[in-house]
């Protein structure tokens, strides 16, 4: 098997074996690149645990009598922040291991409700990609992250700007 190189982005751990599951580097993310995450089903337990650990003890999330009699929500709604956090979790696991260094800013819009039983995924498009001026071994990458339910309904959109690892100090995304 060929020796992994810095150009391919393959890394070897202390055992000398290739490490799999590493995230994207700056050079992997040219403007226009698109990808999606796997799906994640939101459960009642997820919602209960999330609102408990965050202190979001809003009656909509903790009182079934209120939900049934006073809310216009047809089910057990998840906070928009839970939906956002689940998508960040899926993206961290699949695209940022060992390469994501800082989450710098974002704009977030909740576009519709997500309920227990919904399966959600994130569709990502790179909208900005530039090398850091102060740290040439880092890139600044902004994406538009759109979250969809299994029905195709978009429920959330956010646009994070992240600082990520670069393999080089001179190559731009898409360059050979």
pLDDT along the chain (176 residues), means of 10: 46 75 94 97 97 94 91 92 98 94 97 98 98 95 98 98 95 77
Which of 39, 57, 38, 37 is closest to 47 using CA atoms? 57
Q: What is the pLDDT of residue 7?
A: 45
For residue 54, what are its two tokens?
């965050």
For residue 52, what are its two tokens?
């408990």
Between CA 31 and CA 11 the distance in angstroms is: 25
Ordered structural domains, the chain, with CATH:
25-165 (3.10.129.10)
Which residue, chain included where needed, has tokens 């689940």? Answer: 86
Which residue, chain included where needed, has tokens 């740290």? Answer: 135
Q: What is the pLDDT of residues 27-55, one digit of tens each?
A: 999 999 999 999 999 999 999 999 999 99
Instruction: Look at residue 96 and give its three-state secondary structure.
Output: helix
**13-35 as b/e: b if 16+ CB within 10 A:** eeeeeeeeebbbbbbbbeeebee
């Amino acid at each position: 098997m060929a020796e992994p190189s810095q150009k391919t982005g393959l890394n070897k751990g202390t055992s000398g074996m290739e490490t799999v599951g590493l995230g994207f580097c700056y050079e992997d993310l040219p403007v226009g690149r698109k990808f999606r995450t796997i799906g994640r089903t939101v459960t009642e337990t997820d919602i209960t645990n999330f609102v408990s650990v965050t202190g979001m003890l809003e009656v909509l999330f903790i009182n079934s009598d209120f939900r049934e009699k006073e809310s216009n929500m047809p089910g057990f709604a998840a906070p928009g922040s839970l939906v956002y956090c689940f998508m960040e979790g899926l993206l961290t696991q699949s695209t940022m291991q060992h390469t994501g260094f800082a989450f710098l800013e974002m704009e977030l819009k909740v576009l519709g409700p997500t309920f227990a039983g919904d399966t959600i995924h994130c569709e990502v498009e790179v909208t900005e990609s530039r090398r850091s001026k102060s740290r040439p071994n880092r890139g600044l990458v902004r994406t538009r992250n759109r979250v969809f339910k299994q029905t195709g309904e978009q429920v959330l959109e956010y646009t994070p700007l992240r600082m990520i690892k670069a393999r080089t100090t001179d190559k731009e995304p898409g360059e050979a």
